[in-house]
Amino acid sequence: MIQPTQFTSGGETFVIYERGNQYEPNTHIAVIKNQTRVADFNLVKLFAKDGVGETYALFQSAQLSLGPSRKGFIAAFRNIGDGAGTLFVLITESAGNFAVSWQEGAAQAQFQVRQGGAFQLWNANEGDECIWCPHHYDVTNFLWKDDALKRTSHFETKHLLSPYQYSEKPIRIVP
């Protein structure tokens, strides 16, 4: 996947590529500027403490506004097994340097981009239920503040919700 962005003057290109095989893609996110790779992030290394990353492939990505003068690139990766796991990676730029500002592993999840630098992560609370049955969802609210996503609140849905409405579009821009 190749996605041009406009973080810096002249722009740059995010490239998501795989260095592994069909069973363990070993996915990377690279940033190319002026025909030079200026950053490269490996999912396996980013999620090493969780022991995941090698079996995830790109599902969706987007450039988003974090604030009046701040942009980000978010990518959602889906587990190639049962498809229930989702990894999110948010990359930002400061003074020409690109860095992972936030990363999260979740289940049948959706990252919602809302107005005014507000974000929500909807994460299935699977419990002992079957993977693709309706679940309660843990919803975490974030604000972009001081160059980071800051958790502001959290709640669990009262009703069981179908995971399909979230997992089929893991990044959602809410008008």
Residues 73 and 101: their CA atoms lie apart, in Å, by: 10
pLDDT at 17 over 80: yes
For residue 117, the enclosing domain spans: 2-173
CB 59 within 8 A of CB 77: yes
Query: pLDDT tens across 145-173, in order?
Result: 988 999 999 999 999 999 999 989 999 99
Q: pTM score, two decimals?
A: 0.93
pLDDT at 55 over 80: yes
Query: pLDDT tens across 100-136, in order?
Result: 999 999 999 999 999 888 999 999 997 766 888 999 9
- Mean pLDDT score, 37-52: 92
Residues 114 and 157: their CA atoms lie apart, in Å, by: 19
User: Residue 149: its pLDDT value, please?
Assistant: 93
User: Residue 175: its pLDDT value, please?
Assistant: 83
Residues 124 and 83: their CA atoms lie apart, in Å, by: 13
User: Residue 129: its pLDDT value, please?
Assistant: 67
User: Residue 93: its pLDDT value, please?
Assistant: 94
pLDDT at 22 over 90: no
Q: Assign 52 a pLDDT band (cuts: 50, 70, 90).
A: confident
How is the chain classified by DSSP, letter by letter?
A: -EEEE-SSTT-EEEEEEE-S-SS---EEEEEEETTEEEEEEEHHHHTGGGT-STTEEEEEEEEEEEETTEEEEEEEEEESSSS-EEEEEEEEEETTEEEEEEEEEEES-EEEE-GGGEEEEEEEE-TTS-TTS-BEEEEEEEEEETTEEEEEEEEE-SS-B-THHHHTSSEEE--
Structural domains of the chain, count: 1
